[in-house]
Structure 1
Amino acid sequence: MNSSNYDPIRMWNSGLQMAALNYQTPDKSMQLNEAVFMQNGKSGYVLKPQYMFDDNYNPYEKPLELQNYNPVILTVRVIGARNLKKSLKGIVSPSIEIEIIGVDYDCRKCLTRVVHDNGLNPVWSSETFVFNITCPELALIRFLVCHLDTFDDSSFVGHSTLPITCLRPGYRSVQLKNEFSEELDLSTLLIHLDIRRAKDNNIKTSVEMLKHLSENLSKMIADSEKCGNETEVKRFK
């Protein structure tokens, strides 16, 4: 027997109210547990979103109707980091794994390029990732910083795991933590977040399409007037 942990996210997303974990084990499962209860200041239960009480709710199949959901489009731009250190001596060659953890159809993982031999102030100025999240109330974002050696073997440097509902748009300094979710002194990521409601984005797209069609129609009317084609002008109007 060992003290490893199972993935509690799948349990919570299925409606389970309590998951027992080995707190002495500094693994990903405990880091996720720590993040989930950041939503209420670690002061008790986290309420389920209303759609979990719907008979048609299924964490493994994306819903066809999104009336009771609040999907978001999250854009993450990784800009840089500072003071990245590994457990053993040596210079860090960092890469950042960005993972969305939630219901099955929201889960996704992306990876930045490796910045070789720079743990002091690595820069990823153009690394941008877009995530479509159907159930933000059940989703976490995890930044995992790893060191890649010359053999492409990775080792843990630090992580930060946060609830999607706790994110705020704009430039953000993200505090990195160790395996026990204890803060690492001066180790941070600099990122930029853009968070939009998917429904609002669809409306914006529709407005832009209508604007484009209106501009094309105005141009066609102007061209017809120049040619003296009154029949076409009347038809367009």
Structure 2
Amino acid sequence: MSTLTYLALTLAVILTLMLCERRWACSDTRSAMRINAVAYLLFTAVQLQLLPLIQPTPGHALIQLGAWPLWLGLLTFTLLMDFGEFGFHWAQHRIPWLWRMHALHHSDPNMNVTTTVRHFWGDPLVKGLTVWPLCAYLTSPTPVILASYALVGLYNYFVHANLRVDFGRWSWLLNSPAYHRRHHSALPEHFNSNYAGLFPFYDLLFGTYRRPDGFAPTGLAKIPRTFADVLLWPVRTSQS
């Protein structure tokens, strides 16, 4: 799958969910979509340069997923990557300099589908030295597994969508807009919970699982307003 094809699929998913948000939104607070678009362009430019770090490393990995059935290899790689993302996300909320970068993502006054791409451009630099190469070198994913995982990753746009979707008593099985909105909540009683990317059972294992209890407001006191704010977000926030 080419990069252009994947970007086209991503755009289709975003537009579809934006239409759904107009009909079934859980909040009508405005979001700074222009800021989200700027953050996305900067983040993607850096991420594309780091793709070689998660390319297959034949013969050098602990587990050779290419020898496994595709479904099992994809499941294993997805579970491993999601665990890595969970751990990194937890660290972003515990380590001050990581939080100063990650706070850009949480600063959206109304979490929605475009918030998915509201990340500081330095995030992929850190992941490119930690989570991504570690998972790739442990498993040596095939190109097909990497492409399939990229498609699975599109689910994150649904997770961030401003939609009234709650899986209720099954919320521990798979992330949902209600589950993740609690993580983005501006209410102090919701802080430090629901870090999972795809599978909330990681939250269950580490004691950070909280069942969704409505659709809380989101955002931080400080928000970016200009290109410079997005480009220099950790510096701007450290001076606040």
TM normalised by structure 1 equals 0.29
Larger helix proportion, structure 1 or 2?
2
TM normalised by structure 2 equals 0.29
The structure having more radius of gyration, on CA atoms, is 1
